[in-house]
């Protein structure tokens, strides 16, 4: 999914937000988790809307069969069985938020290079044009100088 530059900062913060969510366990931390869950959910919804797949998402905090906490982002209309199935898939999935963060950084670098390319092309074209056009001028000046020096050392006929 392409990441627009205006959402890149939010996407790059998601792994840290998910790590903070993992640290806030239990019912006592429900109030502290709420703004973090909201920020993650809004980021995912904004990415989905940008990709033309607008939907409402929920952040689910569940434990996998080994007892490790998992954070699963699923569409709001997902059933509990689908969430558990996704937890089992996520154990083996290659797409983690950290890898997505790396992808976002690569995308932003590519976008910035694409913005710089026309300017670099223009500079290269002007430099090449100046070099190509200056060669005849330098040759002409060099020829005039050699002719002038040659005329000065040649005996004059009277």
- pLDDT value of position 43: 81
Does the pTM surpass 0.85? The reply is no
Question: Tens digit of pLDDT for each residue in 69-86?
Answer: 666 777 777 777 887 777
Question: Phi and psi for 17 in degrees, rounded to 5?
Answer: -65, -40
Question: What CA–CA distance (Å, rounded) separates 150 from 158?
Answer: 18
pLDDT band at 98 (very low <50, low <70, confident <90, very high): low
Question: Tens digit of pLDDT for each residue in 116-141?
Answer: 788 888 898 999 988 888 888 899 99
- pLDDT value of position 65: 67
Question: What CA–CA distance (Å, rounded) separates 153 from 149?
Answer: 7
Residue pair 89/3 in contact by the 8 Å Cβ criterion: no
Higher-pLDDT residue of 144 and 67 is: 144
């Amino acid at each position: 999914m392409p990441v627009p530059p205006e959402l890149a900062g939010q996407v790059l913060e998601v792994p840290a937000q998910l790590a903070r969510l993992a640290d806030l366990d239990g019912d006592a931390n429900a109030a502290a988790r709420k703004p973090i869950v909201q920020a993650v959910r809004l980021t995912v919804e904004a990415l989905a809307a940008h990709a033309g797949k607008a939907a409402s998402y929920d952040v689910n905090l569940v434990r996998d069969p080994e007892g490790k906490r998992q954070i699963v982002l699923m569409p709001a209309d997902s059933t509990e069985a689908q969430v558990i199935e996704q937890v089992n898939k996520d154990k083996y999935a290659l797409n983690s938020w950290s890898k997505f963060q790396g992808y976002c950084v690569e995308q932003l670098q590519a976008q910035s290079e694409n913005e710089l390319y026309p300017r670099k092309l223009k500079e290269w074209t002007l430099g090449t044009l100046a070099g190509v056009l200056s060669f005849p001028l330098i040759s002409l000046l060099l020829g005039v100088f050699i002719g002038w020096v040659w005329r000065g050392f040649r005996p004059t006929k009277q």
